[in-house]
Amino acid sequence: MKFIKVLVPLFFVMMVCSAFMPKDKVNGIYMVGVSASFADSLVYFTDVQFLDSVTLDKKTTLLPNRNQYSEQLDDYLEEMKGMTKRTSFVYFNKNKAKLEKVVKELKEEYMEGGKSVLREVDKEFKFRKSEEY
């Protein structure tokens, strides 16, 4: 009986302590790039890509240097496809399924009017860490 009286409180203390231990945070995000133009109907989408070197700002959960990721897509389309004066933007999330849902909804919006033509960016395009760009 003494064994149980000692074991139960010890087990309870271990459970409480483990609840307050910091969890291992996985660095990285999933990202998709989109490029559109007011001059034509082509809208380019990249694949969902995992960037393990990116950490979000802890207070605001914003992507640091996010404009550089858009510029990477702009530069790639200009160099490889000769497409200038495009507006590129990125969507990101820590959860891949949530990001894929956003991309699906975005593609549906573009297709809704029937005026946009969706294209995939070549598989060789990969986002790089913003400091490397």
pLDDT at 63: 87
Strand-pair partners of 120? 45
What mean pLDDT is reported for the chain? 84
Strand-pair partners of 71? none
pLDDT digit string (tens) for 85-99? 999 999 999 999 999
CB 99 within 8 Å of CB 92: yes
pLDDT at 62: 85
